[in-house]
Amino acid sequence: MNAMDWFCVFICPWRWTGRSAILSARRGVYLIKKSADSRALPRLAWRNLWRHRRRTWLLVLVVAYATLTIVLFWGINNGYSQSVMNGYARFLAAPVLISTQAHFADPDPAHGLASLDFLAQVAAQPGVLGVAPRLQFAGLIRSAYASSPAEARGVDPGLEARVSDIPAAIEQGRMLAGPGEIVLGRALAQELDVRLGERVVLDTSGLAGPQALGLLAVGLVDSGIVLVDRGLVMVHLEDARFLTGLGTATGVALEVRRGQEAQVAQALQPILPPGVRAYDLTVLLGGLYEALRTEAASTFLIGLIFSILAALAVTSTVLVSVLERTREFGMAIAIGLNPRRLAQLVTLETVFATGLGWVVGLALGYGLNFWMATHNVLGPLFTGFGGAFEIMAIGDQIYTAQSPLFALYAALTILLAAIFSILIPARRVLLLNPAEAMRAE
User: Interface with other proteins includes 215 (CB under 8 A)?
Assistant: yes
Residues paired with residue 154 on neighbouring β-strands, in sequence order:
135, 235
Q: Which is nearer to other proteins, 202 or 314 (CB)?
A: 202
Q: What string marks each residue from 92 to 131 as x (binds other proteins by CB under 8 A) or -?
A: ----------------------------------------
Q: Give the residue, chosen from 36, 50, 53, 145, that forms a contact with other proteins under the rule CB under 8 A.
A: 145
- CB-count exposure of residue 151 (10 Å: 0-12, 13-18, 19+): middle
User: Interface with other proteins includes 47 (CB under 8 A)?
Assistant: no
User: Interface with other proteins includes 136 (CB under 8 A)?
Assistant: no
At its nearest, how many Å lie between other proteins and the CB of residue 267?
Answer: 37
Distance CA 125, CA 119 (A): 10
User: Interface with other proteins includes 222 (CB under 8 A)?
Assistant: no
- CA-angle at 381, arms to 168 and 67, nearest 5°: 105
At its nearest, how many Å lie between other proteins and the CB of residue 195?
Answer: 8
Binding residues for other proteins, how many (CB under 8 A)? 26
Q: Give the residue, chosen from 18, 126, 210, 274, that forms a contact with other proteins under the rule CB under 8 A.
A: 210
Map the footprint of other proteins across residues 171-190, applying CB under 8 A: 180
Residue 82 makes CB contacts below 8 A (sequence gap 6+) with 401
Q: Give the residue, chosen from 134, 142, 153, 241, that forms a contact with other proteins under the rule CB under 8 A.
A: 142
Q: Which is nearer to other proteins, 200 or 310 (CB)?
A: 200
Distance CA 332, CA 10 (A): 9
Cα-Cα-Cα-Cα dihedral sign, residues 404, 410, 414, 415: positive
Q: Which is nearer to other proteins, 128 or 213 (CB)?
A: 213
From 9-17, 197-205, 351-359, 373-381, span contacting other proteins (CB under 8 A): 197-205
User: Interface with other proteins includes 250 (CB under 8 A)?
Assistant: no
Q: Which is nearer to other proteins, 130 or 180 (CB)?
A: 180
Q: Give the residue, chosen from 214, 273, 367, 380, that forms a contact with other proteins under the rule CB under 8 A.
A: 214
Map the footprint of other proteins across residues 304-343, applying CB under 8 A: none
Distance CA 186, CA 396 (A): 14
User: Interface with other proteins includes 191 (CB under 8 A)?
Assistant: no
Q: Are 368 and 73 in contact (CB under 8 A)?
A: no
At its nearest, how many Å lie between other proteins and the CB of residue 106?
Answer: 14
At its nearest, how many Å lie between other proteins and the CB of residue 167?
Answer: 23
User: Interface with other proteins includes 138 (CB under 8 A)?
Assistant: yes
At its nearest, how many Å lie between other proteins and the CB of residue 148?
Answer: 8
Q: Which is nearer to other proteins, 193 or 290 (CB)?
A: 193
Q: Which is nearer to other proteins, 103 or 236 (CB)?
A: 236
Q: Which is nearer to other proteins, 95 or 139 (CB)?
A: 139
Q: Which is nearer to other proteins, 83 or 204 (CB)?
A: 204
Q: Are 170 and 220 in contact (CB under 8 A)?
A: yes
Q: Which is nearer to other proteins, 200 or 284 (CB)?
A: 200
Q: Give the residue, chosen from 125, 172, 205, 403, that forms a contact with other proteins under the rule CB under 8 A.
A: 205
* Phi, psi (rounded to 5 degrees) for 261: -55, -50
Q: Which is nearer to other proteins, 214 or 275 (CB)?
A: 214
At its nearest, how many Å lie between other proteins and the CB of residue 183?
Answer: 16
Map the footprint of other proteins across residues 360-419, applying CB under 8 A: none
From 135-143, 164-172, 261-269, 318-326, span contacting other proteins (CB under 8 A): 135-143
Q: Are 418 and 354 in contact (CB under 8 A)?
A: yes
Residues that bind other proteins (CB under 8 A): 138-140, 142-149, 180, 198-205, 209-210, 212-215
